Amino acid sequence: MTGHANGSSNLTVVIKLGTSSIVDEKTREPILSNLTLIVETAARLRKDGHRVIIVSSGAIGVGLRRMDEDERPKHLPRKQALAAVGQCRLMSLWDSLFEHLRIPVAQILLTRNDIADRIQYTNAQNTFSELLDMGVVPIVNENDTLAVAEIKFGDNDTLSAITAAMVKADYLFLMTDVDCLYTANPRNDPSAKPIEVVSDISSLRADVSTSGSALGTGGMGTKIVAARLATSAGVTTVITRSSKPGNIHEIVSYLQKVREDPDAASALAPPPLHTRFLPAETPIHSRSFWLLHGLTPHGNLYIDSGAYAALLKKASLLPAGVVAVDGHFGQQEAVRLFVVEKRSATALDGDFPSHAEEPKEVGRALVNYGSKEIDLIKGARSSHIRTILGYADSEYVALRENIAFFIESEISSGSASPALR
């Protein structure tokens, strides 16, 4: 599988298209002119030796048109039925357009359940790799026909970031209805200035946003979250205008020339307007990314600062370091990790955690015991586990290889981050 951008001419490019890029908001008709430009852009990238993946929304939007319905339904079974109708027609459309250029495509439908198991996650990576080696353009979408809230990615921006991390992409393009991020909403603030490069996503102000479309589920906020996920995995993430798909090829070509010869930048024509989120200097490993973003946490573990310090030094989590448990979860399920100051046993009897403590969420863990068992052994020595539970599957609540942490700057700012230590 292609590595991250490192001067090699063979790059992996993931292009995420929202519903408003594919389906007209008023007529619900596919925007054939835009789709054709996207196909031509993918073909140009492939001609340059790059590999292309498209994350395509639009199944429900296309389903609405096919069934002559005016509004996106709120009832889940209706949404899923429309997605089933629309996905079939959407893939037929992509296949037909790419066939004109003799480029094969493949459909990949995902839910969180499909990557929650480590083996399945690895299998998905292998499938992507094989398809790209075969010269196929994978078309990825969330499996809206079956997905319920618990296993949904929430939006295709998040799905595209997880896909980009899975395939170790060099670039993730998030296509939207503006050229780039602005310091304010350019639609109603003439003083808004473009933000061309973002090296620290946590420094972005909360008011950097634009409104989303009526058909889609994501706005600019979901794109910033997606950029946070992708850049943590070493993927350069770009926001640019969806109505100008040719921008993708121009931006990739420009960045490639600058990477090969930094001094050439001044002589080159500037690329189309876009916002580029720079990748993390030390990208996280695939397994750590999976722990944070492939799994849905089912509860919370509160650990003391001493245990946290030991974990940062690569130790595993002992029951002695666990202060409290919240939620109901089973063995080998994911939980959120919070750090709190250790308190006496009597202080733990009340409502936990108290508002005064403000526990800091620091990461995720895959636990060796369920919530009931951990609640019984918390604060105890490992040698006492068998006495307390009657058995001892492990001396650890969680192994270090099954724990992943956010970076310090994100923890202190209180934002949920995909970037890991």
Instruction: Provide φ and ψ at 330, rounded to 5°.
Output: -105, 180
Cα 89 to Cα 76: distance, rounded to the nearest angstrom: 20
Residue extents of the structural domains in the chain: 12-287, 297-413
What CATH homologous superfamily does 297-413 map to?
Answer: PUA domain (2.30.130.10)
CB-based contact 31:23 (threshold 8 Å): yes
The predicted pLDDT at position 418 comes to: 37
Residue 222 CA from chain centroid, whole number = 9
Among 391, 377, 248, 258, residue whose Cα is nearest residue 317: 377
Cα 364 to Cα 110: distance, rounded to the nearest angstrom: 22
Cα 240 to Cα 124: distance, rounded to the nearest angstrom: 28
Which pair of tokens denotes residue 77?
A: 């079974």
Residue 154, phi-psi category: left (phi > 0), alpha (psi -120 to 50), beta (remainder): left
CB-based contact 171:11 (threshold 8 Å): yes
Is the pLDDT at 145 greater than 90? The verdict is no
Residue 135, phi-psi category: left (phi > 0), alpha (psi -120 to 50), beta (remainder): left
Among 55-59, 169-173, 409-413, the range of highest mean pLDDT: 169-173
The verdict on pTM exceeding 0.85 is no
DSSP assignments along 79-120, one per residue: HHHHHHHHHHHHHHHHHHHHHTTT--EEEEEE-HHHHHSHHH
Q: Is 310 helix (H, G, I), strand (E, B) or coil?
A: helix
Section 377-405 average pLDDT: 94
| Residue written as token pair 């052994």 | 377
Among 270-274, 351-355, 394-398, the range of highest mean pLDDT: 394-398
Assign domain 12-287 to a CATH class. Answer: alpha beta
What would the pLDDT profile of 285-296 be if each residue is shown by its tens digit?
A: 888 888 888 888
Which are the contacts of 345, defined by CB distance < 8 A and separation ≥ 6? 379
